[in-house]
């Protein structure tokens, strides 16, 4: 973008297959409000050759991130050894992006973009991060952050934070980036940098852990608290069908949706039986 902001997601073979996560993810951009133009700023980072070639067939901006000696093509089991290698490779890569002078929105591919999120980012904060559970104050460190969606500005404080985050991951063996973020955000060394972190309200940036209940305000919906693409994909397709039905309503009918207490989504369904709870 004009201010050197890019949108990034990562992808492996398991999530790139036809009819799987990549197709659902891209469809959300095409049918969301004010999101189709953002596709031109989306770079898909492929973690293996198959994902890269599939990306090139459906999207103009693809990058192959090599990791010698590691096969990231499988749908890795949550918290497996290779899963952890994958998440920490992403953290290191995002640090490089910041050092190159790019601001970024990082989004997991199991997040549906239903509205343009940029109007909801505050120019005063360097990191904006989504939440599994939002307690009610955008600066409260007790909010349960989800590292699958974040907007990060390229400034010295964020570059140093990503370096520290990656180093902390080496010290906290067998923990993923989200767990380590939850530890280091309280540490004095982070506070001393003056880094400002804003936790995003799930009213606008919802997920299966804590869904947005207002379709007139929701920007993104994340298949969080759910393990396995075979469960996530059907539920995310239901989210998109719900969204299509909503956008087909008249303005008066849409407004009525925000005044009802009815749950607006037909998902999670497949995910419900194995949801991670807090």
Cα–Cα distance for residue pair 52/71, rounded to 1 Å: 14
Please tell me the predicted confidence (pLDDT) of residue 130.
98
Please tell me the predicted confidence (pLDDT) of residue 125.
94
Please tell me the predicted confidence (pLDDT) of residue 79.
47
Q: How far is CA 180 from the centre of its chain?
A: 17
Please tell me the predicted confidence (pLDDT) of residue 116.
98
Which one is predicted more confidently, 73 or 24?
Answer: 24
Percentage of the chain surpassing pLDDT 70? 94
**Range in 67-76, 139-148, 226-235 the model is least confident about:** 67-76
Contact of 55 with 16, CB cutoff 8 Å: yes
Please tell me the predicted confidence (pLDDT) of residue 78.
47
What separation in angstroms does the CA of 199 have from each of 28, 86, 127, 150, 176?
23, 24, 8, 9, 19
- Indicate the angle between helix axes 156-171 and 177-184, nearest 10 degrees: 110
Please tell me the predicted confidence (pLDDT) of residue 105.
98
Residue 54 has pLDDT above 70, yes or no: yes
Provide the whole-model pTM.
Answer: 0.94
DSSP E strands, 103-257: 103-107, 111-113, 127-133, 144-152, 197-199, 205-207, 220-222
Q: Is the peptide bond before 268 cis (omega within 30 degrees of 0)?
A: yes
Please tell me the predicted confidence (pLDDT) of residue 176.
85
The domains of the chain, with CATH numbers, are 5-199 (3.90.550.10)
Which one is predicted more confidently, 59 or 86?
Answer: 59
Residue 74 has pLDDT above 70, yes or no: no
Please tell me the predicted confidence (pLDDT) of residue 72.
58
Please tell me the predicted confidence (pLDDT) of residue 257.
84
Please tell me the predicted confidence (pLDDT) of residue 37.
98
Residue 70 has pLDDT above 70, yes or no: no
Kindly state the average pLDDT of the residues 104-110: 97
pLDDT per residue as tens digits for the range 217-259: 999 999 999 988 999 999 999 999 999 999 999 999 999 888 7
Residue 182 has pLDDT above 90, yes or no: yes
- Which residues on neighbouring strands pair with residue 207, listed in sequence order? 222
pLDDT per residue as tens digits for the range 148-177: 999 999 999 999 999 999 999 888 877 889
Secondary structure percentages of the chain, helix, strand, coil, to 5: 40, 20, 40
């Amino acid at each position: 973008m004009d201010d050197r902001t890019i949108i990034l997601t990562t992808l492996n073979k398991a999530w790139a297959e036809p009819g799987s996560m990549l197709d659902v993810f891209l469809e959300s951009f095409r049918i969301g409000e004010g999101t189709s133009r953002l596709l031109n700023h989306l770079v898909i980072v492929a973690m293996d050759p198959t994902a890269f070639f599939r990306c090139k067939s459906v999207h103009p901006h693809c990058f192959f991130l090599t990791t010698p000696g590691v096969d990231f093509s499988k749908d890795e089991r949550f918290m497996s050894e290779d899963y952890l290698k994958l998440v920490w490779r992403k953290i290191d890569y995002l640090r490089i992006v910041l050092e190159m002078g790019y601001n970024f929105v990082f989004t997991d591919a199991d997040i549906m973009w239903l509205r343009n999120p940029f109007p909801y980012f505050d120019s005063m904060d360097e990191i904006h991060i989504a939440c599994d559970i939002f307690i009610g104050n955008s600066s409260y460190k007790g909010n349960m952050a989800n590292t699958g969606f974040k907007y990060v500005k390229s400034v010295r404080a964020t570059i140093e934070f990503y370096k520290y985050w990656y180093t902390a991951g080496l010290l906290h063996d067998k923990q993923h980036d989200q767990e380590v973020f939850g530890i280091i955000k309280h540490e004095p060394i982070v506070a001393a940098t003056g880094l400002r972190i804003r936790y995003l309200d799930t009213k606008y940036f919802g997920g299966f852990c804590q869904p947005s209940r207002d379709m007139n305000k929701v920007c993104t919906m994340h298949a969080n608290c759910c393990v396995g693409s075979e469960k996530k994909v059907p539920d995310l397709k239901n989210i998109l069908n719900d969204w299509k039905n909503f956008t087909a309503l008249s303005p008066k009918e849409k407004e009525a949706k925000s005044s009802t207490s009815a749950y607006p989504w037909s998902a999670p369904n497949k995910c419900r039986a194995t949801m991670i709870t807090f």
